Structure formats: structure tokens, C-alpha cells
Amino acid sequence: AEFPSNLDNVRRYTESYVLALWHNRLYIYTAAAVVVGIWFALNLVLKKKKVVTPVSPWRYQTTETEEKKKYPVKEKVEHVSGLKIFYGSQTGTAKGFAKELAEDIKNLGLISEVIDLKDYDPDDRLSDECTSKAVCVFLLATYTDGKPTETAEWFCKWLEEASTDFRYGKTYLKGLRYTVFGLGDSVYTDHYNTVAKCVDKWLWMLSASRVLTRGEGDNNVAKSRHGSVQADFQAWKGRLLTRLQALARGEKKKCSGQCKNGTCKSKKKKKQQQQQSGAGDVAGDAGKCSSEQKQHSSEEELVESSSDAESSGEEEPGHGSVIDMEDLGNVMNRIKKVKKKEDGEDGQKVKLSKMSNGKTPEEEERREMITPALRDALTKQGYKLIGSHSGVKLCRWTKSMLRGRGGCYKHTFYGIESHRCMEATPSLACANKCVFCWR
């Protein structure tokens, strides 16, 4: 008999092993199912107990976010990051106040920046303050004839222009939070603290939000509310610091509910604010800034809130004597229709005078395109009126370029030089109300 070879032995063992596995397959399946079941069960238990098992980076992250969802931790929202203290000073008082305020702000744990207005270009930077969490404080002295200090001259000029220039829009500074303190002397009765009042007004006109009513320091010891300009500043500063702390906590001013859009105008509040500001007759003086400001009532002046409600409102149609240029066509069509109708009915030409305050048709033909109100508004904005149909004005970019402050995008992108571009109202009847006129 032949002995089985080694190879046969191996084959035989393997076959019996596989056969054994096959016969016991049921047990193997059951064991596998039990292992998987235990693994799932363990996983479930661990999840329930919120045990974070960093099996993989992904798994770890998921568990963490789930935790956050279940137990939300309030994220700290920053309401006020600090203060930007702008000053316009000649003999140093406002500058001293600015430094003092910065020191107090530091003690509150907030940061501050003291900025001399001569080093600040509002054209480039002021709109950035709308999105920053900083509150802007303006400490401004008034000088002869209600003029600003030399250092604040450009800032004031720019702000005044911007507040009346339609190209900036009424909401140009929406989001900017500010307050103003004026340094003046009530001996100068006609121009007492004019600069502070004007800056306050111009900022307000551009939709910036007052966080605190304007303070006014009076060098006239006999009349000063607190005895001196320093004491006036101290009192106002105290209110500012309290207000800032409230703002930093995210507190908003309570609304009496007697207003639209949360802009309180209740008489009681107004009185309170008037006392707070120590401003005296603020509204009356504000009229000295520009003629347009005379249109604003004292109510607006004293409101310690955003001017959104007032500024966002479009002028009501039919308000005053101004006809919107876009509607001019409709008006003419209506006149023509009436004319036709009356011609047909009576068989004779009916004078248009019925519709045009007793003017003859010839006079009506020559009717001026610019109403007196529009003429006033355009002149105030610096337009030179040509005849009764057009207005021209030197572009502010041209001025900016001459001052070496950079030119406009038409030059940058298209190479159009300022002398070739006359931003104008070629025809005041133009129906296209482009912000930038290309014609």
C-alpha cells in the first residue's frame, strides 16, 4: 500500500475544516449577528450618555455640534467696540476733553481713538463708521461768525455738502452712531455753538443715529448751565458713559409707543431730553447751518434716535408747488385732452387759461420748467441755472481731484477727464433720474 503524500494530507485537512465550517454555519451567523447587535447597542448607550468618542475627526465634530444644538451657549454679541473721539480745537480745550474722555473710556474697558479732524478725510472714511461697532463722538469748538476751527473746516464743509447733495442719498450714514458736544461762548449770541449744532444736524440728515443728545459747553460763566465749559463737559460726559454702558449691554432706549418706527416724539420725552442736553434753544440756532435745515422742526432736533423714520420718507406727491419732472408729461397730456374735449363740444377753442391760472396759451407754451421751489432747491445745491430749463454744477470729483484727493471712477475706468465730463442736469425735464448723469 502506498503512503499518502504530504500534499494529500493538507488537502484532506482543509476539506474537513471547510466542511466543519459549513456544517456549523448557523452558529457562525448567529455569533456575527450578536456581535453586530452588541456594537449597535453600545453605540446607542454611549450616545445617550453624551459620551464623546473621538473615533474620527468627523464623528467628533458631529457630536460637538449636536451638543451645541441641545445646550445652546449664548454667544457674546458685541454691541459697542469702542469710541472714536473726533475733535476740532484751536486753543486746545476740545483736544483736552477728547483725551480725558479717552482715559475714562479706557477705565470702562472699552477702546478709544482720539482723532484730530484735520487728519481725517470724511470722503474716504466716514461711511466706514456705519458698519463699525464704534460710537463716534464729536467735540467741536465754534469760532468767529459761527465758523469751525481751521482743523475742522474741511470736515464741516464736506459734511454740509454731503447732507444736501442728492448723490449721497439721505441714508448715506445710516448705521453710524454718534453724539456731539459743542464748545462755545453764549456771549456770541448769534453763533452760540453753531458748529456743533450744524454737525449734529448734518449727521442726522444723513441718517446717522444719535446715541445721546448734543451737549453744549458754555465759556460764559454767568450763563453756563453748570458754571463753566469744563463743568458742562463733565455733566455731559457722565451721561455719555452711562449711555455707553447701556449700549454695550445691548440695551435699547425704551419707546413710549407714541411714534412710528420707534422714534419717540412724546412731549414729555422731548422736555426731558431738552433738560438733559442743556441745549436751550437748539432748534432755533440750528437754522443757521443752512436754509434747508430751517425746514426741520424742533422735534426732530431733540429726538435721541435714528432719523430713519424722517429721512427715509419720500416727499409726498403733490406736496407744495413742485411737480415731479416725471409727471410733467402726464400734466401736459391732461391739458391737451381737456383742450381737445372742449374744442369738440363747443366747436370753438377753449382757452387753457382755465387750467393755468388765467394764462394765455402762448404764455402756457413758454411756461418755465423750473418752479420757484425747484429753483431754490437747485440753487442751494450749488447748481447754476441756465435759462429756465437746465442746471449745471461743478462735479465734486473735479473738486476732489483738484485737491489731490482722487478722481472719479469714470476717469479710473474709462479715462474720461474731468473737463470732458460735466455732471449736469442737461434738461430739468429729463425723465431718467440717473444718480450720475452721463449726458
Ligand X SMILES: Cc1cc2nc3c(=O)[nH]c(=O)nc-3n(C[C@H](O)[C@H](O)[C@H](O)COP(=O)(O)O)c2cc1C
CA-closest candidate to residue 86, choices 95, 76, 77: 95
Taking CB under 6 A as the binding criterion, the range among 184-192, 270-278, 302-310, 429-437 that sits at the site for ligand X is: 184-192
3-class SS at 18? Answer: helix
Identify which of residues 153 and 364 has a Cβ nearer to ligand X in the complex.
Answer: 153
Q: Regarding beta strands 209-210 and 177-184, do their DSSP bridges make them parallel or antiparallel, or are they unpaired?
A: parallel
- Give CA angle at 280 (278, 285), nearest 5°: 125
In Å, how far are 206, 208, 275, 312 from 127, measured between CA atoms?
A: 10, 10, 31, 18
Q: Give the chain's radius of gyration (CA, Å).
A: 37
Q: How far is the CB of 197 from ligand X (least distance, A)?
A: 10
Specify the stretch interacting with ligand X by CB under 6 A; choose among 16-24, 190-198, 252-260, 369-377.
190-198
Q: Which of 174, 191, 214, 396 binds ligand X (CB under 6 A)?
A: 191
Residue nearest to ligand X (CB): 184
Nearer to ligand X, 129 or 185 (CB): 185
**Residue whose C-alpha cell reads 446607542 in the numeric block:** 44
Contacts of residue 132, Cβ cutoff 8 Å, sequence gap at least 6? 81
**CB-nearer residue toward ligand X: 278 or 391:** 278
Among 163, 179, 193, 273, binds ligand X (CB under 6 A): 193
Phi/psi of residue 207, nearest 5 degrees = 75, 15
Give whichever of 142 and 277 is closer to ligand X, judged by the CB atom. Answer: 142
C-alpha cell at 281: 434753544
Element (H or E) spanning 418, and its range? none
State how far the Cα of 204 lies from the Cα of 372, in Å rounded to an integer.
Answer: 27
138 contacts ligand X (rule: CB under 6 A): no
- Give whichever of 155 and 397 is closer to ligand X, judged by the CB atom: 155
Report the residue number, 119 or 362, with the smaller CB distance to ligand X.
Answer: 119
Nearest distance from C-beta of residue 411 to ligand X, angstroms: 38
274 is written with which cell numbers? 431738552
Q: Is 144 in the site for ligand X (CB under 6 A)?
A: yes
Segment near ligand X (CB under 6 A); pick from 21-29, 64-72, 188-196, 292-300: 188-196
CA quadruple 370, 373, 377, 382: dihedral sign: positive
Angstrom distance (rounded) from CA 439 to CA 429: 14
- Residue range at the interface with ligand X (CB under 6 A); choices 15-23, 179-187, 372-380, 397-405: 179-187
Least distance in Å: CB of 96 to ligand X?
8
Q: Please give the residues from 78 up to 107 whose contact with ligand X meets the rule CB under 6 A.
A: 89-94
- Which of 188, 231, 342, 401 is in the footprint of ligand X by CB under 6 A? 188
In the chain, what are the helix, strand and coil shares in percent, each to the nearest 5?
50, 10, 40
Q: Which is nearer to ligand X, 89 or 207 (CB)?
A: 89
CB of 141 to ligand X, least distance (A): 3
In one-letter notation, the amino acid at residue 72 is P
Binding mask 211-250 for ligand X (x = CB under 6 A): --------x---------x---------------------
* Residues contributing to the site for ligand X (CB under 6 A): 89-94, 141-144, 146, 149, 183-185, 188, 191-193, 219, 229
